[in-house]
Amino acid sequence: MALDRYDREIDYLRISVTDRCNLRCLYCNPGVHASGFAESRMLTAEEIVRVARLACEFGVRKIRLTGGEPLLRPELLPVVRSIKALGVRDLSLTTNGILLEELAAPLKAAGLDRVNVSLDSLRADRFAEITGGGRLDQVLAGIGEAQRVGLQPVKINMVPIRGVNDDEIPAFAKLSLEGGPEPYHVRFIELMPSKGRVGWKRRHGLPTQEVIDRVSTLGPLVKLPFRGKGPSRNYRLEGAQGILGFISAMSHSFCYCCNRLRIDATGRLKPCLFSKTRIDIASPMRRGAADEEVLRLLALAVESKPEGNYLVDPETASLPSMSRIGG
């Protein structure tokens, strides 16, 4: 068990396997022509699996693969297979869903447990506008295939943006009533400051309470017990099987229960999404560092975790690029 200075158990690692993406979402990618990391800087498949192995030795029990868009990584299937073989209890992946229809069954066969799909509109024209030309039909087909092959529960992540897609909040909440024997789970994520193609302003985001109020127009919400880890506070619409999660990074800090580390596609550990601290583990590995040295760097990352993200003034803060760290 790895405990940080504030007695938080760190058992969750998010690994960005690429910074490439086939969409250009307005709040995520820093520019239409943004260049990615040089290929030589990216962690190899073998290095990703080594980091995952050592993280498991360190106490990590939950791993999420992110991007960019992780389904663009050519070696993704063997990476998933190798990480699952380590005995990871919960191996998941966040995707935009564009390539999911083709890859859902192979991913399930490789050992992936479940997927989160980022989806910010159920209107084809609006979806294309938000994503820089993406096709909604491809994402919906991918979600259906993930459900069919058993990558469950399928979680749909929506970021409500005022004046852009906030009128669709009830429609997304209704998805928790659908999905067959294993219903869809929907998570509403407050817009967080990041390097995007539009300048971030607090007024663009909707606080969780406002989202809850809008969902409540559909019927009573039943609050579910909090398990003590993770950022989501969960509810159910009365009569629904699917869960509605609300992630309130801006209006209600959940730093006190943070259990995660992040590593970007070049092998830099981040103790906190909004921390300026980055610990390079790729360079030591490439210089022949023994496992003990990499474990020491993992311990340093845990020791460096701040008590909170201190988003006092996001307008002037040093903002992360979500496309490179996976959120």
pLDDT tens profile 264-285: 999 999 998 877 889 999 999 9
| Chain position carrying tokens 């506008």 | 129
Average pLDDT over the chain, rounded to whole? 89
Task: Please give the structure tokens belonging to residue 201.
Answer: 């302003």
Three-class SS state of 169: helix
Backbone angles phi, psi at 35, to 5 degrees: -90, 150
* Alpha carbon distance 84, 69 (integer Å): 20
Q: Which of helix, strand or coil describes residue 157?
A: strand
pLDDT score recorded for residue 33? 46
More confident residue, 179 or 163: 163
Asked if residue 1 belongs to a domain, the reply is: no
Confidence of residue 30 (pLDDT cuts 50, 70, 90): low
- The pLDDT assigned to 31 comes to 57
Which pLDDT tens digit goes with each residue over 202-245? 678 899 999 999 999 999 999 999 876 778 899 999 889 999 99
Judge whether 5 lies within some domain: no
Q: Is the dihedral of CA 174, 178, 183, 184 positive or negative?
A: negative
Whether residue 4 lies inside any domain: the answer is no
Total count of domains within the chain:
1
Range of the domain at 241: 12-325
Helix, strand, coil percentages, rounded to 5, for the chain: 35, 15, 45
> In this predicted model, which residue has the larger pLDDT, 149 or 202?
149
What pLDDT shows up at residue 32? 47
pLDDT bucket at 137, cuts 50 / 70 / 90: very high
Residue 325: its pLDDT value, please? 60
Pairing of strands 244-247, 90-95: unpaired
Phi, psi of 155 (to 5 degrees): -105, 130
- Domain contains 6: no
CA distance 89 to 110: 14
pLDDT at residue 45, rounded to an integer: 98
Model pLDDT, residue 320: 57
Q: How confident is the model at residue 311 (pLDDT cuts 50, 70, 90)?
A: low
Q: Does residue 249 form part of some domain?
A: yes
- Could you tell me if residue 143 is inside a domain? yes
Between 222 and 30, the higher pLDDT residue: 222
Q: Which residue has the higher pLDDT, 327 or 58?
A: 58
Average pLDDT over residues 189-214: 80
Q: What mean pLDDT do residues 283-308 have?
A: 95
Q: What is the CA radius of gyration of the chain?
A: 19
pLDDT at 1: 75
pLDDT at 199 over 70: no
Question: Sorting pLDDT into bands at 50, 70 and 90, what band is 8?
Answer: very high
Residue 126 falls inside a structural domain: yes
Assess whether the previous peptide bond of 284 is cis (omega < 30° from 0). Answer: no
CA distance from start to end of the chain:
24
Confidence label for 37 from pLDDT (cuts 50, 70 and 90): confident
**257 closest CA partner among 6, 1, 16, 2:** 6
Predicted pLDDT of residue 117:
98
What tens digit of pLDDT does each residue of 61-88 get? 999 999 999 999 999 999 999 999 999 9
pTM of this prediction?
A: 0.92
pLDDT (mean) for 35-47: 86
CATH (domain of 274): 3.20.20.70
CA atoms within a 13 Å half-sphere pointing along the CA-CB vector of 325: 21
Residue 1 tokens read as 């068990």
Count CA atoms within 13 Å of residue 171 on its CB side: 11
